[in-house]
């Protein structure tokens, strides 16, 4: 604990924050059965000049998956009320009307643990979820029922394919089995027994409990203007289970302590079900960190070895926030780190490695991440500002000459020529059963799609079509901005576009095809 409280550790964290443009970081650690200790660095909100503390609340993103897996594990362990719910139970037998995948083999075979270990063969399809701003927002049930309309990317159990929506599907199962909302289940079965009074499913629920004043703002760093743009935590019912948990390091470390000590409700049976290794995250073992093994996915957590010691945990990334927790059961020793910008992911990983090295008594000469870094200039120091421009990311169009599907763009493709066919041949509504409706309009002399009603909203601007059938659309995230090239194809019939294909899911070989709706026209 001495190193954790030291000026040397504080200096290291602050240097990382400057290097990666992170306004605020909170960290908590626990050793054995002792009390947790925590620290905060920087700002929870640059605009409001609020310090970041151990009580600051963050959107912890995919750290939520460990809680979702635990909720399912509690059902599996409850043989009195849910004996039919086991890890090897096919999902289609539990949710026969709702759980239908696009392949009959996947529908029959996909089990609970296949969902929890990302081995169903289902691609991410993150652009298919409809957010609260949509005419028909998605729910956990509608996300589950939409599986039948989405292409699988691999045979069942053939490889690891990270899929957020399957964790939302898992929450639908919990709700159907328990008769409670997922929020109620988490509160009654996990949060209340562990005294996690500052943890909630969805920002709105946390605000209803009077916790809104403790929220960190997310931040996006604009390299061009050297300023931050602030973001608020968003409520996303369609993302529950995969994310959408609000917590602090002071609270989340209680969950880590329960895992390490098998504290109720984490029984030995629940724990073993959560940490059993099921799929290899990266079978090639490329780009491994020093002294680290390849990671295997269990249920809501990854397992790997660092300097010969087992490490269990998960990271979380959502626009404006990043977080990570790990614990070393052999010591035992646990860490939770949360930060409020996209760059916080690297900071969390670096801090955890330094803290693990200290816990393992690694000699200073072998601690690679404690080497001195080049001094920063004054301009590198975070400064509280008002909102910076919306397009805060380096243009991917400039950085990457290929689209998502690998279509190589030529210089002609980059010139932004309008299609030779009259624009009215393109405009209209296009529908895909899994991705719903996209409306193509003309804006500023270019074909344009506004898909900001999605959970991960975006727009598309079509710059050029080669031979009037194949071209490039530039995807701009509604929050982060950017300009990511996306392959696009058109199919004409009688001089009119009848199908639009977009490379919105790189894990599958085909494009996502949208059929033009009859008599569709938009001005």
Q: Which of 149-153, 323-327, 419-423, 469-473 has the lowest mean pLDDT?
A: 419-423
Instruction: Tell me whether residue 183 is in a domain.
Output: no
Q: Are residues 205 and 338 in the same domain?
A: yes
Q: Are residues 244 and 332 in the same domain?
A: yes
The pLDDT tens digits of the residues spanning 313-338 come to: 999 999 999 999 999 999 999 999 99
The last residue of a domain, from among 350, 380, 410: 380
The mean per-residue pLDDT over the stretch 226-234 comes to: 93
Asked whether residue 293 carries a pLDDT value surpassing 70, the answer given is yes
Which CATH number characterizes residue 46's domain? 3.40.710.10
Asked whether residue 98 carries a pLDDT value surpassing 60, the answer given is yes
Instruction: Tell me whether residue 191 is in a domain.
Output: no
Q: Are residues 414 and 343 in the same domain?
A: no
Q: Are residues 344 and 443 in the same domain?
A: no
The mean per-residue pLDDT over the stretch 497-503 comes to: 95
pTM given for the model: 0.90
Helices (H), 22-78: 64-77
The last residue of a domain, from among 178, 210, 226: 178
Task: Yes or no: say if 113 and 167 are a contact pair by the CB < 8 Å rule.
Answer: no
Instruction: Tell me whether residue 385 is in a domain.
Output: no
Q: Are residues 252 and 374 in the same domain?
A: yes
**Structural domain span for residue 408:** 396-516
pLDDT on residue 469: 79
Q: Are residues 268 and 407 in the same domain?
A: no
Q: Are residues 169 and 208 in the same domain?
A: no
Q: Are residues 60 and 72 in the same domain?
A: no
Which CATH number characterizes residue 502's domain? 2.40.128.600
CA distances from 97 to 16, 101, 167 (A): 50, 11, 18
The last residue of a domain, from among 348, 380, 412: 380
Instruction: Tell me whether residue 388 is in a domain.
Output: no
Q: Are residues 361 and 441 in the same domain?
A: no
pLDDT on residue 415: 46
Q: Are residues 254 and 305 in the same domain?
A: yes
Helices (H), 117-265: 140-145, 164-178, 182-186, 192-194, 203-208, 249-261
Asked whether residue 97 carries a pLDDT value surpassing 50, the answer given is yes
pLDDT on residue 487: 94
Asked whether residue 205 carries a pLDDT value surpassing 70, the answer given is yes
pLDDT on residue 417: 55
Instruction: Tell me whether residue 210 is in a domain.
Output: yes
Taken in order 280, 283, 285, 288, the sign of the CA dihedral is negative
pLDDT on residue 522: 53
Q: Are residues 409 and 503 in the same domain?
A: yes
Instruction: Tell me whether residue 493 is in a domain.
Output: yes
- In percent, the amount of the chain with pLDDT more than 90 equals 79
Torsion of the alpha carbons at 369, 280, 341 and 190, rounded to the nearest 10: -110
The mean per-residue pLDDT over the stretch 209-222 comes to: 96
| Gap between the Cα atoms of 204 and 59, Å rounded | 12
The mean per-residue pLDDT over the stretch 488-513 comes to: 92
Q: Are residues 302 and 445 in the same domain?
A: no
The pLDDT tens digits of the residues spanning 28-42 come to: 999 999 999 999 999
pLDDT on residue 370: 56
The pLDDT tens digits of the residues spanning 344-380 come to: 999 999 999 999 999 999 998 888 665 544 444 333 3
pLDDT on residue 319: 94
Instruction: Tell me whether residue 149 is in a domain.
Output: yes
Domain count, the chain: 3
**C-alpha triplet 397, 398, 400: angle, nearest 5°:** 65
pLDDT on residue 398: 29
């Amino acid at each position: 604990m001495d190193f954790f409280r030291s000026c040397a550790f504080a200096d290291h964290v602050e240097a990382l924050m400057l290097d990666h443009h992170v306004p605020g970081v909170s960290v908590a650690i626990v050793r054995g059965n002792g009390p947790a200790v925590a620290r905060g660095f920087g700002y929870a909100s640059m605009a409001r000049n609020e310090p970041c503390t151990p009580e600051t609340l963050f959107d912890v993103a995919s750290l939520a998956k460990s809680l979702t897996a635990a909720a399912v594990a509690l059902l599996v362990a409850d043989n009195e009320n849910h004996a039919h719910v086991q890890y090897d139970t096919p999902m289609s037998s539990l949710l026969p009307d709702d759980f239908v995948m696009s392949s009959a083999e996947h529908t029959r075979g996909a089990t609970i643990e296949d969902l929890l270990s990302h081995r169903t063969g289902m691609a991410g399809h993150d652009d298919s979820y409809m957010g609260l701003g949509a005419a028909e927002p998605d729910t956990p049930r509608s996300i589950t029922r939409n599986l039948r309309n989405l292409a699988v990317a691999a045979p069942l159990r053939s490889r690891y394919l990270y899929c957020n929506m399957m964790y939302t599907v898992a929450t639908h199962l919990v709700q159907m089995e328990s008769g409670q909302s997922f929020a109620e289940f988490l509160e009654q079965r996990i949060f209340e027994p562990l005294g996690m009074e500052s943890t909630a499913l969805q920002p709105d629920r946390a605000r209803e409990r009077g916790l809104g004043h403790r929220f960190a703002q997310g931040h996006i760093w604009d390299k061009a203007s050297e300023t931050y743009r602030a973001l608020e935590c968003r409520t996303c019912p369609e993302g529950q289970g995969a994310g959408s948990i609000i917590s602090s390091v002071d609270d989340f470390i209680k969950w880590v302590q329960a895992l390490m000590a098998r504290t109720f409700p984490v029984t030995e049976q629940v724990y073993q079900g959560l940490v059993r290794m099921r799929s290899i995250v990266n079978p090639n073992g490329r780009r491994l960190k020093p002294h680290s093994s390849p990671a295997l996915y269990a249920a809501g957590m990854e397992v790997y070895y660092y300097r010969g010691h087992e490490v269990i945990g998960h990271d979380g990334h959502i626009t404006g926030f990043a977080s990570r927790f790990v614990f070393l059961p052999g010591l035992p020793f646990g860490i939770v780190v949360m930060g409020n910008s996209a760059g916080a992911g690297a900071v969390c990983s670096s801090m955890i490695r330094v803290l693990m090295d200290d816990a393992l008594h690694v000699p200073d000469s072998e601690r690679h991440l404690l080497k001195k870094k080049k001094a920063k200039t004054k301009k590198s120091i975070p400064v509280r500002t008002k909102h910076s421009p919306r397009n805060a990311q380096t243009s991917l169009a400039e950085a990457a000459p290929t689209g998502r599907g690998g279509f190589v763009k030529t210089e002609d493709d980059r010139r932004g020529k309008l299609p030779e066919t009259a624009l009215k041949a393109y405009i209209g509504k296009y529908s895909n059963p899994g991705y719903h409706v996209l409306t193509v309009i003309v804006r500023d002399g270019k074909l344009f799609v506004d898909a900001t009603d999605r959970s991960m909203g975006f727009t598309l601007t079509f710059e050029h079509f080669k031979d009037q059938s194949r071209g490039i659309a530039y995807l701009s995230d509604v929050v982060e901005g950017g300009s990511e090239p996306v392959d696009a194809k058109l199919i004409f019939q009688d001089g009119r576009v009848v199908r639009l294909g977009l490379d919105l899911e790189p894990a599958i070989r085909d494009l996502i095809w949208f059929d033009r709706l009859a008599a569709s026209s938009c001005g």
